[in-house]
């Protein structure tokens, strides 16, 4: 009998999570109810931010953050090419231009190259905390402050990560931070996202943009002569609302986040120890200022040919790894827009060597040992 399949990532759901959803399904509210605000409040408290706004996905979070920041046609947004496409697509949604800055050897945006890509059209910088490893936010903020730019942290990989001993998402070095609750992330709501900020002005804009640009707040209405039913659409917003039963799951999951992150770090330490004497495997390294949340455990191998061989060998042994990511500017859509593959050479070299190993709290010790042994067998051949 074939051994059980081990995926690169998956959700960790228990009976407590299931009961939380059932209770909300049996309540009076399925959407736009009390669980949303409860989730937002608890999430903001966890990361140390003043405000949090829950939305339907991490992509929606990126989009409404850009809208709240005033990104519009003709503007430019700087980000990393080593990320999921949404980190750059959010600029295109606003009819703005994504500008890619090359990466360092650990997959993070090279903060030393950001300034040379800034123009009079640049409005936003989106540093991506790739794999759960925080970017050098202090240096990025210094650059942004000099040029009066808005920083939106793409923290979709980084819930539970720390930078300078505070949680990513506290917006100590940014204007906003966005998170994803896709099933492979640190906590899940099925699909879902969150934006955190310390700015009341941005917070109010985020609330409006997630719900069609409509407000019912009597203090904000321009026409105050109508009845209590009255509401106004004041901006062109979107239906990016999240449901109460999703947020019930999010609340239950959030109560376990420290345990989830601790387990991820245990798994990472075991991988590091196992591969320490294999010079052809190079795990990513964190800086002294940061504490990795290990959304992914990424290793670099010798070259793209060896990566393909290893990927297929793992798959033959029912270990389903992944590659994160194909550089965004390599995708056909971006090629049609005129982006050149060679514009970020380090991202290209990085992509050709990386593979993401299984990493999730439910990964059993025996399963991880199997992954490690299969990789050792591969290199022993």
Over the stretch 85-142, which tens digit does the pLDDT of each residue have?
A: 999 999 999 999 999 999 999 999 999 999 999 999 999 999 999 999 999 999 999 9
Q: How far apart are CA 144 and CA 342, in angstroms?
A: 26
Does 240 lie in the same domain as 268?
no
Task: State which residues form the domain around 291.
Answer: 257-380
Domain shared by 318 and 223, yes or no: no
Do 177 and 189 fall within a single domain?
A: yes
CB 66: neighbour CB atoms within 10 A? Answer: 26
Query: What pLDDT does residue 2 have?
Result: 58
Looking at the structure, tell me whether residues 184 and 267 fall in a common domain.
no
d(CA 187, CA 184): 8
Among 194, 226, 254, which residue terminates a domain? Answer: 254
pLDDT at 224: 75
8 Å CB contact between 178 and 154: yes
Which of 207, 226, 254 is the endpoint of a domain?
254
Look at residue 13 in the predicted model and tell me its pLDDT: 98
Residue 94 shares a structural domain with residue 202:
yes
| 176 in Cβ contact with 195 (< 8 Å) | yes
Can you list the positions of beta strands (E) in the chain?
6-7, 51-55, 76-79, 97-100, 122-126, 150-154, 162-163, 166-167, 176-180, 193-197, 214-215, 232-233, 282-283, 290-291, 297-300, 319-320, 354-357
In CATH, what number is assigned to the domain containing residue 364? 3.90.1150.10
Cα–Cα dist 260/273, whole Å: 20
Q: How many domains does the chain have?
A: 2
Do 139 and 91 lie in one domain? The reply is yes
User: Same domain, yes or no, for 173 and 303?
Assistant: no
Q: Assess whether 159 and 269 both reside in one domain.
A: no
Tracing tokens 């609340």 back to the chain, one arrives at 251
Residue segments in the chain with a per-residue pLDDT below the cut of 50: 1
Mark which of 227, 254, 281 sits at the end of a domain: 254
- Spatial separation of the C-alpha atoms in residues 367 and 139, rounded to whole Å: 40
pTM passes above 0.75: yes
In a domain? residue 1? no
Could you tell me if 173 and 140 are in contact, meaning their C-beta atoms sit under 8 angstroms apart?
yes
223 and 371 together in one domain? no
Same domain, 103 and 247: yes
| Structure confidence at residue 287 (pLDDT) | 78
């Amino acid at each position: 009998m074939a051994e059980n399949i081990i995926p690169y990532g998956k959700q960790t759901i228990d009976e407590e999570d299931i009961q939380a959803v059932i209770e909300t399904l049996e309540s009076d509210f399925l959407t736009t109810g009390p669980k949303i605000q409860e989730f937002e409040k608890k999430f903001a408290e966890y990361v140390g931010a003043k405000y949090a706004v829950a939305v339907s996905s991490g992509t929606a979070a990126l989009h409404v953050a850009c809208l709240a920041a005033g990104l519009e046609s003709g503007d430019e947004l700087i980000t990393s090419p080593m990320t999921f496409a949404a980190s750059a697509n959010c600029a295109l949604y606003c009819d703005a231009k994504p500008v890619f800055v090359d990466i360092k050897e650990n997959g993070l945006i090279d903060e030393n190259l950001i300034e040379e890509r800034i123009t009079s059209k640049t409005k936003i910088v989106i540093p991506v905390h790739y794999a759960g490893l925080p970017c050098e936010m202090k240096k990025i903020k210094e650059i942004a402050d000099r040029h009066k730019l808005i920083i939106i942290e793409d923290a979709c990989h980084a819930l539970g990560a720390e930078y300078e001993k505070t949680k990513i998402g506290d917006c100590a070095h940014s204007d906003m931070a966005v998170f994803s609750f896709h099933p492979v992330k640190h906590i899940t709501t099925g699909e879902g996202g969150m934006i955190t900020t310390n700015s009341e002005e941005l917070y109010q804009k985020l609330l409006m943009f997630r719900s069609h640009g409509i407000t019912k707040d009597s203090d904000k209405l321009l026409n105050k002569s109508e009845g209590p039913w009255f509401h106004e659409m004041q901006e062109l917003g979107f239906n990016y609302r999240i449901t109460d039963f999703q947020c019930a799951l999010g609340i239950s999951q959030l109560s376990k986040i420290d345990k989830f992150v601790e387990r991820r770090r245990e798994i990472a330490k075991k991988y590091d120890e196992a591969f320490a004497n294999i010079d052809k495997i190079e795990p990513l390294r964190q800086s002294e200022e940061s504490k990795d949340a290990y959304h992914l455990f990424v290793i670099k191998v010798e070259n793209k040919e060896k990566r393909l061989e290893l990927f297929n060998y793992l798959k033959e042994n029912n270990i389903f790894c992944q590659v994160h990511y194909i550089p965004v500017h390599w995708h056909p859509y971006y090629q049609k827009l005129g982006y050149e593959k060679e514009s970020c050479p380090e991202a290209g070299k990085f992509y050709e060597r990386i593979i993401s190993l299984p990493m999730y709290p439910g990964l059993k010790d025996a399963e991880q040992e199997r992954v490690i042994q299969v990789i050792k067998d591969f290199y022993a051949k």
